[in-house]
Amino acid sequence: MLKIIIWILAFLLFVGVAIFVIPNIESTVTLYYYMGTIETNLVFLLVTAIFIGAILGILFNLTWVWHLRSNNRQLRNLHKQALKEIENLLNYSK
């Protein structure tokens, strides 16, 4: 069921992009930046901006995941130490 929903969402995304791209395929925009200007296609500019945003989002998400894994590793080590201490305390009382 989840795969069907994903396919439907992917299809709707494709249709939405096609609806935007087809009328704007000939549109050119002038991009002014500090060192000069560049004239480029509107669709190319938007796809590039979305791609760069997705890459940055993935990179920031990876740093967050790395931090969580590090915390998880530390907590596992603390848990192992606590279990060993409990086992030592139980063996000491015998």
pLDDT digits (tens, 9 = 90+) for 50-85: 899 999 999 999 999 999 999 999 999 999 999 999
d(CA 54, CA 79): 37
CA 9-10-13 angle, to 5 degrees, is 85
**Residue 26: pLDDT band with limits 50, 70, 90:** confident
What is the residue type of 41?
A: N
Lowest mean pLDDT among 2-6, 22-26, 41-45: 22-26
Tokens representing 15? 């249709």
Backbone φ and ψ of 40, nearest 5°: -140, 170
| Cα–Cα distance for residue pair 62/59, rounded to 1 Å | 5
pTM exceeds cut of 0.75: no
Euclidean distance between CA atoms 17 and 45, whole angstroms: 14
User: What is the overall mean pLDDT for the chain?
Assistant: 89
pLDDT band at 94 (very low <50, low <70, confident <90, very high): low
